[in-house]
Each structure stands twice: as C-alpha cells, then as structure tokens.
Amino acid sequence: MVLYEYPFNEGIRTMLRLEHLFDRLGQLVARDAPVDHHFALATIFEIMDVASRADLKSDLLKELERHRAQLQSYRGNPHISEAALDQIVGRIDHAFDGLNQLQGKAGQALQSNDWLMGIRSRIGIPGGTCEFDLPSYYAWQQLDPAKRRADLMGWIGTLSPMAEALQVLLGLLRDSGAPQRVVAAGGQYQQSLPAGRTYQLMRVRLDGADGLVPEMTGHRLMVGVRLMRPDADGRLRLAAEDRDFELTLCA
C-alpha cells in the first residue's frame, strides 16, 4: 500500500515539507559514504531555508499549547485513560520545552559557523563544492565516517527540538482521523465536508500494484480525488474505472 497526504493549508504544508527533510536527513546520516554526508549537509541547509519563516517557531509553540490545553480538559473523564493521557501530555511538554529553549530560528546557531556558511553559499552552484573550490570541505569528506557523522550529529542537534515538535504535532493530527473505504466511480471521487469542522490533512492509501497516482484537491467545503495512471510517456491519464481506496480526513 502507498500512502499519499494532502495538506489543506500552508502551515501543514510547511510541516510536511520539514518532516520529509528530517526523514531524508536521518537516512543519509546513518550511511558512511562521503556523498551521502554531502547530501546530509545539503539537507540541513534546506531545513534552515524552510524553517527561516519568522513565525514558524511561535506557530509550533502555539499548536503544542493548544493541544495540551485540549487534552488537559479531558482530566477526570471516566472514558479516558489517565495513563495514556499523561504519556501524550508528557510528550507535548517535552517538545514544547525543547523548542521554547531554542534561541532564535531553527539552525540560527549554525549561521555563526563561517566554514559551514561558506559551504552553504556554494552548495547550490552546479559543481560548486569541488575540491579546488573548497579544499577544506573536500578534506572533511575524506575523514573517517564516524568523525563525519559526529560532526553532522552536532549540527543536527540545533535542529532537533523542531523535529521533535513536528513529530508530536503531525502524529496527533494523523491520529485524529478515522480511515474509511470509499469507491472512486470512473476513477473520480468527491465528498462534501460537514460545516463547522475544519480539516487540515487528507490521507489516501492505494494498492501500489494498481499503478495508480491520486490527484488530490481539498478545501473547507469539499475534497476530491482523481485516480490517474501514467501512459507510456509518463503523462497521467484518468483511470476511467471503479476503484476502491482508503481515505482519512484529519481535523
């Protein structure tokens, strides 16, 4: 099964982009090849670029505080497990405290590292990090993988509070939805959304063996999914056939 997600607003869009970058970073750092650590460093710079929004940190803190207040209101409810509630609130508190203690924007501490910023200024230039352009960076790439990984982990440490906050918030958002099995008649599906409830994320899970790609749209009144199939040239065409898939709306 292949999972696709569609954000309904710019805030969730930014969070999903950062989550994607952090996931890629984790995979690259675990490897040993110099080229993997080169792209790990490039990913760190991408995270800094995406996280440079002036209000991103405050938005994440507000969201964590909102979830904490909502969960605390469930105290004393006989249908709620206090142990599970304590665990979730504890995760929110830990993420909030870590992000709140972060000075400035994510990665701001790295901007005072002239060596890193020299690499950042050239890494977007095609071939701009060759050994004759950045010999010190080339020398770093020849170090033992464990030493390179230790350096990367130190730099990633300045970004970790944001990664933890994203993990908690997106986890709570995804858990808020209940999956349902629906049918796209003739390859198309539409569903009206109830008034008074704001959805933030749509999730579509398809059988990868079918070779289908969803084109997803959504706003406060309606969501739509068109199931497409690539032709021989890679162009997407509507799969004009009835297909069922799993749909989850997260509020």
212 and 244 Cβ atoms separated by less than 8 Å: no
Kindly report the CA angle at 220 between 56 and 10, in degrees rounded to 5?
Answer: 20
Q: Kindly report, residue by residue over 27-67, the tens digit of the pLDDT.
A: 999 999 999 999 999 999 999 999 887 688 999 999 999 99
Residue 180 pLDDT grade (very low, low, confident, very high; cuts 50, 70, 90): very high
Q: How far apart are CA 51 and CA 57, in angstroms?
A: 8
37 and 152 Cβ atoms separated by less than 8 Å: yes
For the cut 80, the answer to whether the pLDDT of residue 239 exceeds it is yes
For the cut 80, the answer to whether the pLDDT of residue 143 exceeds it is yes
For the cut 90, the answer to whether the pLDDT of residue 181 exceeds it is yes
Specify the amino acid at residue 121. S
Residue 76 pLDDT grade (very low, low, confident, very high; cuts 50, 70, 90): confident
For the cut 80, the answer to whether the pLDDT of residue 105 exceeds it is no
H or E segment at 13? helix 10-29
| Paired tokens of 208 | 């990868």
pLDDT at 107: 79
SS3 237: strand
Q: Kindly report, residue by residue over 210-234, the tens digit of the pLDDT.
A: 889 999 998 888 999 999 998 888 8
186 and 227 Cβ atoms separated by less than 8 Å: no
Helix 56-72 with 82-100: angle, nearest 10 deg: 160
Q: Kindly report, residue by residue over 117-140, the tens digit of the pLDDT.
A: 999 999 999 999 999 999 999 999
pLDDT at 219: 83
Q: Kindly report, residue by residue over 195-208, the tens digit of the pLDDT.
A: 878 899 999 999 98
Residue 240 pLDDT grade (very low, low, confident, very high; cuts 50, 70, 90): confident
| Paired tokens of 34 | 């110099």
**E strand segments, the chain:** 2-7, 180-184, 188-192, 201-206, 213-218, 222-230, 236-238, 243-250
Q: How far apart are CA 63 and CA 12, in angstroms?
A: 11
CA Rg, the chain, in Å? 22
pLDDT at 103: 81
